[in-house]
A and B are shown apart, each in its own frame.
Chain A
Amino acid sequence: MKFFEAVLFVCLLSLCVCSLGWAIDITSTGNWAETINAGDLVGGAGTDLNDQYTSASDQVAITISNTLDDNDNWRVDVRKSDTSWHNDLSVSVKRTDGGSGTGAISGGTSFQTAGAVDAEFFNGRGDRSNVHVQLQVSGMSVSIPPATYSTSIVFTVVDTL
């Protein structure tokens, strides 16, 4: 009986370790830099700067890996972590394709503003490679003083049922 109990204990312990230690991975590549100058005025002297600036549709590539199988569900959250940013400026993200992989992907195909706390961006299951994301900055005007502004966009993958 004691042998049976010991085996049961070890099996359950292994199950705990496996389930708690394993995690889906996410990698993102593709920083974005933009320079605003007089050429961005709507119509030259007397007009304001264009309000919105949009990156290339494939500016950012996200890869989801290390899922258990094609039925392993996950979601990707997004948030913004400011380094030196202006309060009038906002950053939005949009998924422009589904990347590749044998799983599935859904949501995130409209621009959504990245806030200070995580919010769901898109979801899917299984490994997905090179999911492309477009960035957009809004709120630009001449009231924003000349300077360099920087913020980080944080993509977090969360394993879900």
Chain B
Amino acid sequence: MKHLISAVFVMCVMAMAGGVVFAASNDTITVNYEVQAINELNIDDASVTLTVDSATAGSDPTQATDSTTYDVTTNAGDNAKKITAAINTAMPSGLTLKINMTAPTGASSAGAVTLSATAVDAVTLIDSVSEANIAAAFTLDATLAAGVVASASKTCTLTLADS
């Protein structure tokens, strides 16, 4: 009889416990996110104009300058990208066109680099970054030997490339 009472007591406790919180069941859904490579570069001005038209007596012609800004966004990771610069055709003899691009945060600027038809590194070691209105300055130098050069235009291409 004592065993029965004990058994009844245990079962009552189990029944009460079972009534308070029953077994739980669950189900799941999956969230999948794909982040694709993002590499965007934009030059904010359509053109810059450089005119060499003066000189200090006794010196070469005065350097002409003009500037623009650029915007860059990339998620490529640390030091994964660089910006190269090139113009569509070589400059005439005696004229030197340069670009000096300020680097976005964490990257490194090559300073003033001479532009030619061959791409040259202007900014290196670019991390994942999103930064707008970064300065880019152009300069044009002319030697006396260049003489008078008729107005012309060059297309400068900036490329966000793999390091």
Contact = CB atoms under 8 A, between A and B. Distances in A.
Q: Are A and B bound to each other?
A: yes
Interface of A: 5, 8-9, 12-13, 15-16, 19-38, 41, 44-49, 53, 60, 62, 77, 81, 83, 89, 91, 135, 137, 140-161
B36 A46 contact: no
Interface of B: 1, 4, 7-8, 11-12, 14-15, 18-42, 70-77, 128-133
Contact of A91 (B31, B38, B75): B31
Given A24-B25, A152-B28, A46 B131 contact: yes
Contacts of B21: 158-161
A16 B129 CA distance: 62
Given A37-B38, A49-B130, A140-B35, 13 more contacts: A19-B14, A23-B24, A33-B31, A36-B35, A41-B40, A46-B73, A77-B24, A83-B30, A142-B129, A149-B35, A154-B27, A156-B25, A161-B20
8 contacts: A12-B15, A20-B14, A34-B33, A46-B71, A77-B24, A152-B28, A153-B31, A158-B22
Nearest to A142: B75
Contacts of B30: 31-32, 83, 150-153
Contacts of A62: 27
Interface centre among B20, B129, B130 (most CB of A within 10 A): B130
A18 to B, nearest CB: 8
Contacts of B130: 41, 46-49, 141-142
Contact of A152 (B29, B33, B41, B128): B29
A147 B33 CA distance: 8
Contacts of A53: 33
Contacts of B23: 20-23, 159
Contacts of A143: 75, 128
A46 B31 contact: no
A29 B29 contact: yes
Contacts of B128: 142-143, 145
A145 B40 contact: no
Interface of B is mostly: strand
Contact of A45 (B27, B31, B72): B72
Closest 7 CB pairs of A and B: A46-B71, A46-B132, A19-B18, A159-B22, A45-B40, A45-B42, A156-B26
A28 B35 contact: no
Contact of B36 (A16, A37, A48, A91): A37
A83 to B, nearest CB: 8
Nearest to A55: B31
Contacts of A158: 21-22, 24
